[in-house]
Structure 1
Amino acid sequence: MVNIIHRVGIKAEIQKVYEALATIQGISNWWTKDTSGESEIGKTVTTRFHTLEGNEIGSMSFEIKDLEPNKKIHWKFLEGPEEWIGTEVIFDLHQEENYTIVLFNHVNWSEEVEFKAHCSMKWAIFMLSLKQLIENGEGKPSPHDIKIDNWN
């Protein structure tokens, strides 16, 4: 199995970072505006991605596997791109001085493929969107995210 890993430090209290990662409203402010569902263990969240013109370009659903306040958020993908089915995202949080450190892991990819490289870059962009949201009050969720190639 192969994984995507990113580390970002956010100048904020850990509770604020946790809420942005663990709630529907929070996710919609840094990842994609079109986020729905219930952010509770065992429940499902659906995210949809659109062009600026409003055309849907992708969607995925994930189950909330674990929520440990101010420590960990764990998702398992149930629907979406074929390569994502069964993969998991884990956000581990801890405080270092005046930074909340987010250790992001998208684990259990079946193989190293070009799409994984694309997703790794996009996750980095969305982690920076999370940082911008919390530090400056406004993230860059889809469809306002940075476009990196012809796949988005």
Structure 2
Amino acid sequence: MDIVHRIGIKAPAADVYKALATIEGLAGWWTRDTTGNAQPGGHVAFRFHTVTGDEIGGFTMGVLEQTPDHKVRWQVEDGPAEWLGTEVEFQLSQQDGQTIVMFGHRQWRDAGPGGEFMAHCSTKWATFLLSLRELVETGRGQPAPDDVKISNWH
């Protein structure tokens, strides 16, 4: 089972790639609490907090691949059981003056009871991809804890 999304960003692929392949870039659209080494062979920790500072979860990704202006790929090493061993990939291409991001969170073995957890994650990924677009196009994204809240799960 996979989560897949496609979004266009009105900016050069190099700008989108920088937002995906650097700690500073990732902290600008996904979660402010992003640390680690974003280079291949490195590990990046993403932690999520409430607006009052309470930690509500997180993930650690092993960086598998970075192809400048074309691809970033990670493997989940720590986080919810449903995420362990899954891969997250961003593929970039140029079309009609936009950078197209083909996003995939692949190889889910379990979607959670009733598929609710995977559905939640799919919607959250969509909101964060919109945050990525905002960051690259305007200079300001909506990373956690200032992200779009979608349900009682956050």
Identical aligned residues as a percent: 50
Residue 114 of structure 1: aligned partner: 116
Aligned AA (1:105): G
Q: Return 5+ residue gaps in structure 1 as ranges.
A: none
- CA RMSD, aligned part only? 0.6
Report whether the alignment pairs 1:74 with 2:76.
Answer: no
1:150 maps onto 2:152 in alignment: yes
- Partner Cα separation in structure 1 for residue 77 and residue 38 of structure 2: 15
Q: Secondary structure at the match of 2:135?
A: helix
Q: Matched residue of 2:2: which SS? A: strand
Q: Distance in 2 between matches of 1:96 and 1:81?
A: 35
The residue matched to 1:82 in structure 2 has which SS?
A: coil
Gaps of 5+ in 2: none
Show the counterpart of 1:34: 33
TM-superposed deviation, 1:17: 0.2
Q: Report how far residue 111 of structure 1 moved.
A: 3.0
What is the TM-score when the length of structure 1 is the normalising length? Answer: 0.98
Match of 1:85 in 2: 84
Residue 8 of structure 1: aligned partner: 7
Deviation at 1:98, TM superposition (A): 1.1
Q: Which consecutive aligned stretches of 4+ in structure 1 deviate over 2 angstroms post-superposition?
A: none
Between the aligned partners of 2:146 and 2:70, the Cα distance in structure 1 is 28
Offset at 1:21?
A: 0.4
Aligned positions, number? 151
Q: TM-score, normalised by structure 2?
A: 0.96
